[in-house]
Amino acid sequence: MKNNRRLFLKLAGLTGFGVAGGGILKGFGEIPQPDNVLTYGNAGPGKQLFNMSGYAAPKLETVRIGFIGLGQRGPEHLSNASKLEGVEIKALCDIRTEMAEGAKKLLTGTAHNPTIYSGSKEEWKKVCDRKDIDLIYIATPWHLHTPMAVYAMEQGKHVCIEVPAAVTIEECWKLVETSERTRKHCMMLENCCYDFFELLTLNMARQGYFGEIVHGEGAYIHNLLGLNFDKKGYYDMWRLKENMTRNGNIYPTHGLGPICQLMDINRGDKMDYLVSMSGKDFLMEKKAEELAATDSFFKPFTNKKYRGNMNTTSIYTAKGRTIMIQHDVSSPNIYSRIHKVSGTKASALKYPSPSKISTADGENWVSDEEMKKLEKQYEPAIVKKIGELAKEVGGHGGMDFLMDWRTIDCLRNGLPLDQDVYDAALWSAVAPLSEKSVASRATSVNVPDFTNGSWKTNKPIDITLEKGGTTKAKA
């Protein structure tokens, strides 16, 4: 069965994401297909090595951490970790020595004295090789996430990866296979699952306020046009290069993750297929040409086919529910992740602010006074426990701190993490799947089942804090 999985991945690469229904590839003749693969993404190739959903690794009284990538996101996690008990920060790694040294200054006045690794593209492996590290945080350019995470798990480390966890379907399967084989956690750091309104609606959904969830919407609409073209923005212009070479929803997880948790995707339901459409690029190529007129640095970024400004992806689930996800980081739009929840009894909408919950009959938004009552009645346990401290610490309003605290607390108490490798793979997979659909004039594309069928029996994540919640923190 494992050979089937490898064969599937090889064939997927040959066909640009798909195996023809009849098993014929032009120029290759008749190609044998894995027994359980009928079309791309159908059921998932191979046999599950070990079910990581609900998996609780042995307790770590002290979580020893190495950080790889200290540009924009890494220092946030580093700062949060330094405020938690039961943590030792052992290593800081960035190819740029000044970034690693600058990050170390954040630890001034603490008991942490990590070793710095920098100056070489291979230094990160030395961090993963260390025997005195339990957890690796990865906050590097997207194309490095999976190679680093796979190597770290193979060296016996749990990993937390910034979003997205992978950029190809093959990488998604590599993460799943490696996590199952090593029994090491592979969590994607989807911080939006820990934002306060998203946590509130998740708790309300668990308690039946919305009835049965029938539809959800999410997005990442954020004007990053200037930052993408800023020489001091993303190292080596890596994010601009992603936007220049791929066309689809290449950053889906911020809006998608919270909706998937509400719908218990991978834990009672699964994505079946999706369709995706992008408009044309109205802004990025023009921006490149404008900059190149006075700065030759930008010449290589001209005459390129940039992704469409707005992408809309629609997903159909096994239970017949629908999800709509949008992506636009180059138009002058007001920031929005939408977060629309639609149920058989009521609905919710986060953007535009202020966030709203509908009345029980779904006909109107509740009053401000009633909204405060609902927020109190359905306040999630994690917010009661550490919400005020998280807001004081900050980091996207506190959701970063909630996520890092919760992750460390689960590891210290031997509890399953809120996001597992199947979530990391699935949520990330929407990007390359959307690219395939866009390239095929919005043709539907099957979504792989990275759980290999265990979604039918996997349990929803536990948000009660009845276990754990013992890790102390300070501002």
Chain segment 142-167, per-residue pLDDT in tens: 999 999 999 999 999 999 999 999 99
Number of other CB atoms surrounding residue 38 within 10 Å: 14
Determine the Cα–Cα distance for residues 282 and 289; give it in Å rounded to an integer. Answer: 12
Number of other CB atoms surrounding residue 384 within 10 Å: 11
And the tokens for 94?
Answer: 């960035």
Q: Does 100 reside within a domain?
A: no
What's the domain range around 233? Answer: 193-381+421-456
Determine the Cα–Cα distance for residues 411 and 409; give it in Å rounded to an integer. Answer: 5
Instruction: Please report, for the domain that includes residue 278, its CATH number.
Output: 3.30.360.10
Q: Does 22 reside within a domain?
A: yes
Tell whether the model's pLDDT for residue 43 goes beyond 80.
Answer: no
Q: Does 467 reside within a domain?
A: no
Q: What pLDDT sits at residue 19?
A: 31
Tell whether the model's pLDDT for residue 298 goes beyond 50.
Answer: yes
Q: Does 293 reside within a domain?
A: yes
Determine the Cα–Cα distance for residues 275 and 70; give it in Å rounded to an integer. Answer: 36
**How far is the first Cα of the chain from the last one, in angstroms, to the nearest whole number?**
50
Q: How many domains does the chain have?
A: 2
Tell whether the model's pLDDT for residue 328 goes beyond 60.
Answer: yes
Average pLDDT over residues 276-295: 98
Tell whether the model's pLDDT for residue 18 goes beyond 60.
Answer: no
Q: Which residues pair with 326 in a beta bridge?
A: 219, 312
Q: Does 85 reside within a domain?
A: no
pLDDT tier at 286 (50, 70, 90 boundaries)? very high
E-strand ranges in 119-171 read: 135-138, 158-161
Determine the Cα–Cα distance for residues 322 and 462; give it in Å rounded to an integer. Answer: 24
Q: Does 129 reside within a domain?
A: no
Q: What pLDDT sits at residue 35?
A: 31
Tokens 């991945």, residue located: 9
Q: Does 231 reside within a domain?
A: yes
pTM (predicted TM-score): 0.91
Q: What are phi and psi of 347, to 5 degrees?
A: -145, 170
Q: What pLDDT sits at residue 136?
A: 99
Between these two residues, 100 and 25, which has the higher pLDDT value?
A: 100
Q: What pLDDT sits at residue 277?
A: 98
Q: Tell me the one-letter amino acid at 453.
A: G
Tell whether the model's pLDDT for residue 440 goes beyond 60.
Answer: yes
Determine the Cα–Cα distance for residues 397 and 393; give it in Å rounded to an integer. Answer: 8
Q: Does 139 reside within a domain?
A: no
- In sequence order, the 6+-apart residues with CB closer than 8 A to the CB of 376 are none
pLDDT tier at 362 (50, 70, 90 boundaries)? confident
Tell whether the model's pLDDT for residue 247 goes beyond 50.
Answer: yes
Give the rounded percent of residues in the chain with a pLDDT score beyond 90. 89
Tokens 């990330």, residue located: 428
